[in-house]
Structure 1
Amino acid sequence: MLYQPSSVVSGSSVPPLPRPQLAEARRVRAAELFGQGRSNAEIVGMVGVHAESVRRWRRAWEDGGAQALRRRPAPGRRPKLDDARVEEVRAALERGAQAHGFEADLWTLDRVGLVVERVTGVPLSRATVWRLLTGRLGWSL
């Protein structure tokens, strides 16, 4: 079953949630519905996920409550840029390459890396710039 956005949010000025936050929002909503005594079948229809996901979530909820359905921090090293810094970078990049003194309005990994360092003071490798662009910023190259 494909997830269909809520009609409450569709057409509004609320930006869509990034995928991890959307998934967590579904699990939290399911926890609320578990607490109301709703059946798994009802929750599948209301949240828009596969029945097996709801069964798995219910087991976790029964064992650990709503907290068991919350998103956990990713294992491993913390990102060099926190979410606020990533948003600063996004705003800077959306102004275009020429706004940062480049001759053509074309982004390259090296140019993005320079802008990231200017905006945040954090130097990034080309590979990290690539992951920033395609992962956290959601841009396609």
Structure 2
Amino acid sequence: MRPQGTAQQLEKRRRQAIQLLKAGKNLSAVASAVSSSVSSVFRWYQSYQQEGLKGLQPQPTPGRPPKLTKAQKGKLTKLLLKGPLAAGYRTDMWTLQRVAEVIDRQFGIRYHPSHIWKLLGSMGWSCQKPERRALQRDEEKIAHWKRYRWPHIKKRGTTWGPSGLS
């Protein structure tokens, strides 16, 4: 699992570990001090011995580089905040398919809709499903029922299950 922190913070942690080792601390004490494993501290030390401070610098993360740049993600956020109606859709609800279509139209980058949730998660968004409510719903009548009828029903203490099961 990749440790938390920026590349600079992680490099600072590796340098701190090397300083503690140079000061005479043992591997397990250093690992505890920098909140890491003994094997990681040993690997950092070997890298430092072979390459010096250059061996402690952050390495590029493995994997494919992201298709969208940070600037494009910022523009996508603005587009999403404007809403689906502004993007030309008939209903006011984003779906993964719609977000994928917007990305394709705006940036010429194609994502499979099933990957969009990962992309949105990395941008701080979450998938949510709207509550379904009846069109005939009358909020005033509901509030009245909750305020006046429900307390009487609650006071009676009647059960809704079969009676006589004691």
Task: Check whether TM > 0.5.
Answer: yes
TM-score normalized with structure 2 length: 0.52
The correspondence of residues 48-127 of structure 1 with structure 2, limited to 5 A, is: 48-69=35-56, 70-76=58-64, 78-119=65-106, 121-126=107-112, 127=114
Kept after mapping to 1: 8 A contact 2:67/2:109: no
Unaligned runs of 5+ in 1: 1-18
Kept after mapping to 2: 8 A contact 1:116/1:122: yes
Counting matched residue pairs gives 120
Cα–Cα, structure 1 residues 28 and 57, in superposed 2: closer, same or farther, change >3 Å? same
Partners of 2:49 and 2:80 in 1: CA distance = 45
Q: Compare relative contact order (CA 8 Å, sep 6+) and give the higher one, 1 or 2.
A: 1
Kept after mapping to 1: 8 A contact 2:31/2:41: yes
- Classify the secondary structure of the residue corresponding to 1:65: helix
Indicate the residue corresponding to 1:31 in structure 2.
14
TM-score normalized with structure 1 length: 0.58
Q: Give per-residue Cα distances to partners, 1:55-83, cap 9 Å, x unaligned.
A: 2122122222333331215355x432223
Identity score, percent: 27
Kept after mapping to 1: 8 A contact 2:84/2:93: yes
Partners of 1:104 and 1:139 in 2: CA distance = 20
Let me know the Cα RMSD of the aligned residues.
3.3
Cα–Cα, structure 1 residues 122 and 50, in superposed 2: closer, same or farther, change >3 Å? same
Unaligned runs of 5+ in 2: 128-166
The amino acid of 2:13's aligned partner reads: A
Partners of 1:100 and 1:20 in 2: CA distance = 38
Structure exhibiting the larger radius of gyration computed from Cα positions: 2
Kept after mapping to 2: 8 A contact 1:28/1:66: no
Q: Give per-residue Cα distances to partners, 1:102-134, cap 9 Å, x unaligned.
A: 454432121111332344x22313255344234
Partners of 2:90 and 2:61 in 1: CA distance = 40
Cα–Cα, structure 1 residues 57 and 26, in superposed 2: closer, same or farther, change >3 Å? farther
